[in-house]
Amino acid sequence: MRVYTETVVHSAPEAYVSEAPYQIAIVVREDGSRVTGRILGDRVSIDDPVELAEARNGVPYFRKKDK
Amino acid sequence: MRPVAVIGLGKTPFGAFPDRDLRSLAVEAGRKCLENGHVRASQVGAFYLGNFAGPAFVGQNHLAPYIGQSLGLEGIPATRFEAACASGGTAFFHAWAAVAAGIYDVVLVTGVEKMTCQATPRVAEILASAGDVAGEMKAGATFPALFAMIARRHMHDFGTRREDLAAVAVKNHANGARNPYAHMRKVISLEQALAGKPVADPLTVYDCSLVSDGAAAVLLAPLERAAEFTARPVRIAAVAQTSDRFALEEKADITTFPAVKRAAEQAYKMAGVGPRAIEFAELHDCFTIAEIIALEDLGFAPRGQGGRYTSEGCTLPSGLLPVNASGGLKAKGHPVGATGVGQICDVALQIRGEAGEMQLGRHELGLAENLGGSGASAVVTILRAA
């Protein structure tokens, strides 16, 4: 799985204000489908490989994968 | 279908007006418009209202008859149109279709939004409801975040630079300073634009449109009857509304808006012109990257080159294709439901030669592009001197 695009959110919506700044990304899965999720740990850039760390409340959380 | 003309215009200033409510803004724009078009309320056949989130921002629903009554519109169809940031353009499209089809003769279209009564995090949440609430937004996205991800990919794929985004903001702020109806009349430097407070990387506050209150209105009538009302009718040469995939993650390529491309193709065909014939445009710069991509999708700049086209000065008032002489959503302000109608007003004012300090010289053919959400709705309009 790789990062298709990403951003670090500084100005968050009401529900996530306490978590900002946080990184979100659109990740391309092995089957080519895409999903929007959060990034845990190190910041990622476009094309970085990531792996699924966990799912919380139906939202996938990814982590940078060691190359 | 019969040809349709814009016969009247009315706008409130866009800004933060703590002592004005949604209805008073819509009524001010509507009354000014009726007066401008020399139309009595009893002559209006239908009322079309563009509004994105009145129920969430101010807690009022059933808005079209609520506002129509205050305008003295009695007994006629009064309908609200919602298509996120394209709500105004969508109301305009459907009003045009009804007049073109001969269902009504005189139709009043008004767009309005009252936003500044809510705190920023709540505004972000209400705006986010125009995206996929159960998907991308649940992951913590906001509209600035969606367009930040679009900008990142555009920079990655085409070499668009941070300075190109800033050039859009610098230009639109300079233009807005000449617009007495603009929310922000402040010239900014490239250095300021680059050093703004981060909102969603790489976008800063200077890349984002404003949270504004405001309203705009236009009157439509068959072209053959336009002279009964005004000496300066403006012909609707074309208008097209389209839709596309809803969530950003569902799009094959996020660096282009297929809905805009499709609407543009239809509009150019209907008007019998190509992009080179367009003399000036009001584009949907909800974020700086959106103006850059609109330049490409509308055929003004080659694919991937919208940023360079901007940095080279092509979209300045003195350039090849002046864009957002009004200041755009960036400086004029973005009261969501009013935006699409306000764009039509600003293009029509230029063609009528009534744009005051914003006037670009004598122009006969202008285009407006109104985008909804992250590209799920689009409306493209071409106006021509009648």
The residues spanned by each domain of chain A are: 2-64
Q: Which two tokens stand for residue B243?
A: 């839709």
Q: Which of A36, A40, A44, A62 to mutate to test the interface with B (most CBs of B within 10 A)?
A: A36
The percentage of chain B sitting over the pLDDT mark of 70, rounded to a whole number, equals: 100
B8/B14 Cα distance (integer angstroms)? 19
Per DSSP, the three-state class of B368 is strand
Lowest mean pLDDT among A34-38, B117-121, B292-296, B324-328: B117-121
- Is A36 within 8 Å of B249 when comparing Cβ atoms? yes
pLDDT > 80? residue B276: yes
Q: Do B142 and A12 touch (CB under 8 A)?
A: yes
Task: Report the pLDDT value the prediction gives residue A67, as an integer from 0 to 100.
Answer: 66
**Which residues from B are below 8 Å from A5, CB to CB?**
149-150, 152-153, 156, 254
CATH number of B150-209+237-385, picked from 3.30.950.10, 3.30.300.30, 3.40.47.10, 2.40.50.100: 3.40.47.10
Q: Which residues of A touch B199 (CB under 8 A)?
A: 10-11
pLDDT digits (tens, 9 = 90+) for A36-63: 999 999 999 999 999 999 999 999 999 9
Q: What's the rounded mean pLDDT across residues B286-306? A: 98
B315-323 contact pairs (CB < 8 A, 24+): B315/B168, B315/B171, B315/B291, B316/B171, B317/B175, B317/B360, B321/B278, B321/B279, B321/B280, B321/B281, B322/B280, B322/B281, B322/B360, B323/B171, B323/B280, B323/B281, B323/B282, B323/B283, B323/B291, B323/B295
Please, what is the average pLDDT of chain B? 97
pLDDT value, residue A14: 86
Nearest-angstrom CA–CA distance, B176 and B163: 20
Checking if the pLDDT of B6 tops 90, the result is yes
Kindly determine whether residue A36 and residue B128, on different chains, have CB atoms separated by under 8 Å. no
Joined together, the tokens standing for residue A22 give 């946080």
**Model confidence pLDDT, tens digit, residues B74-121:** 999 999 999 999 999 999 999 999 999 999 999 999 999 999 999 998
Contacts with B153 from chain A: Cβ below 8 Å: 4-5, 46
B334 catalytically annotated: yes
Residue A4, both tokens: 């298709």
Radius of gyration of chain B from its Cα atoms, rounded to whole angstroms: 19
Question: What integer is the mean pLDDT of B158-169?
Answer: 98
**Residue position matching structure tokens 């005051």:** B356
Mean pLDDT value across residues B323-339: 98
Closest listed residue to residue B110, CA positions, set B75, B83, B71, B61: B71
CATH 3.40.47.10 fits B4-118+212-235, yes or no: yes
Which helix or strand (DSSP H or E) is residue B98 part of?
helix B87-100
Q: Is A14 on the interface with B (CB under 8 A)?
A: yes
What SS3 class is residue B102? coil
**Rounded-to-5 percentages of helix, strand, coil across chain B:** 40, 20, 40
pLDDT at residue B349 is higher than 70: yes
- Put simply, whether A58 touches B (Cβ < 8 Å) is yes
User: What is the distance between the alpha carbons of residues B202 and B214, in angstroms, rounded to a whole number?
Assistant: 29
Tell me whether residue B208 is one of the annotated catalytic residues. no
| Out of A4, A24, A57, closest to residue B141 by CB | A24
Kindly list the residues from chain B whose CB atom is less than 8 angstroms away from the CB atom of residue A22: 140
CATH 3.40.47.10, chain B: domain bounds:
4-118+212-235, 150-209+237-385
- Residue A66 confidence (pLDDT): 81
- Residue B13: asked if its preceding bond is cis (omega within 30°), the reply is no
CB contact under 8 A, A19 and B140: yes
Best residue of A2, A3, A8, A9 to probe chain B, by most B CBs closer than 10 Å = A9
For B246-291, strand residue ranges (E) read 280-282
Distance from CA of B105 to the nearest CA of A (A): 44
What percentage of chain B has pLDDT greater than the value 90?
A: 99
Which residue among B134, B142, B152 places its CB closest to the CB of A13? B142
* Residue with token string 């819509």: B26
**Angle (nearest 5°) at CA B250 between B244 and B251:** 60
The per-residue pLDDT for B334 is 98
SS3 B283: coil
- Please give the pLDDT value at position B293: 98
pLDDT-based confidence at residue B362 (cuts at 50, 70, 90):
confident
Q: B249 vs A26: CB contact, 8 Å cut-off?
A: yes
Task: Find, among A59, A14, A12, the residue nearest to B56 by Cα.
Answer: A14
Per-residue pLDDT, B317: 98
**Complex ipTM, two decimals?**
0.98
In chain B, which residues have their Cβ closer than 8 Å to the Cβ of A58? 134, 138
